[in-house]
Structure 1
Amino acid sequence: MNLDELKSTWKAYDEKILVSQKLSEQLVFLMIKDRSKGTLARMERNLKLAGFIMTAVVFFFTAAIAGNAFDYTSWYFYIPSVLYIVLALVALVIVIKNVRNLSHVDLSRQNLYDSLKTVLRWHEKAQAALSRVWLLCMLSGFLFGVSMVARNVEAYGTTKVILLLGGQTAVILLLYAAARWLFHAFEDTHGNELRESLQEMEQLKTGM
């Protein structure tokens, strides 16, 4: 085999390697894209479920206020219920905004990395906002209990009122501690999946 034939052989071999590398990159891209589609679909389903729950909360407390279901005698007793409605509406706005954003995500090859980074940023902001809403909901729950007890101060007596409020405070604190434990105990599956896909995309870019 002369030198020209050897060069031609090596050139053909290099071309085969290049084609094989491009095919591998394409397969990895398609895998990441399909997995990302699944992640976004699950995120959207969870957000819609949260939206349904928040809508139910709004309707429940609106109906309770309209029909005075708790037999309140003064306007300030309604404050916790109004807070629940406001917080549920805030959460609903967050949910609707994120669902709308997810519906416009472009997962094409040119935009996949940037799109996933954007979705991860939306997800983290939504998680942080909804966790604050949850904390305020627990505060509203405490105020709701206070409003229920306040109507019967004379009937219960000071000692019983203090015990009831103390018990309710303990329950709220336990719920808060449980919520913090749950948020830390269970991984952010969707966020982790997005981060994993981004890491793979970065490795793919580095290897190109």
Structure 2
Amino acid sequence: MFGRKQDPPPTVDAPVVDEPPQPVPTGKGRPTPRRKEAEARNRRPLVPADRRAAAKEARAKARVQRDLEYQAMRNGDERHMPARDRGPVRRYVRDSVDARWNLGEFFLPLAAAFLVLQFVTASTAPVVAFASLVVLYVYIIASMIDAWLMWRGLKQRLAAKFGDAALLRGLTMYAVLRAFQVRPSRLPKPRVKHGQHPA
């Protein structure tokens, strides 16, 4: 009990034993989610929580897109034009219409002038008013014949240049409506002058 303190026994280093490597997990490390859980996680509400904010955001995006398309039609950047104005066929149609003198492009100013003349002379000179109306109708018929002749020649040139597959649906109205627009108001803006027919 009161004897001297004994020294601790000497420690012997244990031999180092290489542990076998732990197997690497081959799976994804987590259980596959149940179908109901996956569907619930991917579900999006059909109606957003804040309808006013969503509508405001949609209007802002639409306005930005419209401004981008309008600027593209003014400066000729086809990448941002509406889909109905893109492509070499539509460009060729526009250039062909713009290079030609069309009766239709003078229709709106002449119609406005004839209607004013008819309104002014309706009570004072009914013969002049009737004559102006007849001349206006004759001009409309002549403009339609001119547009038909334009499209007939343009269709042949399109088929020769791009093949029959280029004669897409709606191309006739695209050309005729452009021919009836006043030249400064045409969009996309004309790239050629009168007489500069595309090759």
Tell me the TM-score normalised to structure 1 length: 0.32
Higher helix share: 1
| Greater gyration radius | 2
Tell me the TM-score normalised to structure 2 length: 0.33
